Structure 1
């Protein structure tokens, strides 16, 4: 719920995404380049992050990677 009511509207407000709620689509916004390096860094080091930041519950060993 917070994705649709909080996070997506904020990302759109700052120009990071273009969100079409009716069509349920998201595209890069005019300010995407500002956050792209950070997103790439997070993605490249995903396995080093705590499980709760990896977006999935931990497996039996404590990580998803």
Structure 2
């Protein structure tokens, strides 16, 4: 996807602040028949203390289709 330079953000501290302020994201899945679905899921950021990108974590119940 094209991203103009004036919209590009690469500073981890700014990106992490955005993720903490707005933790709701879309989890997109595809089943065996290639049908896709998107669901709103809360995410938690596990930041890398060394300044790396970190890890996004989410939880969904196994019973969900």
TM-score normalised per structure 2? 0.27
Q: Which of structures 1 and 2 has the larger relative contact order (alpha carbons within 8 angstroms, sep 6+)?
A: 2
Q: Which has the higher strand share?
A: 2
What is the TM-score normalised by the length of structure 1? 0.27
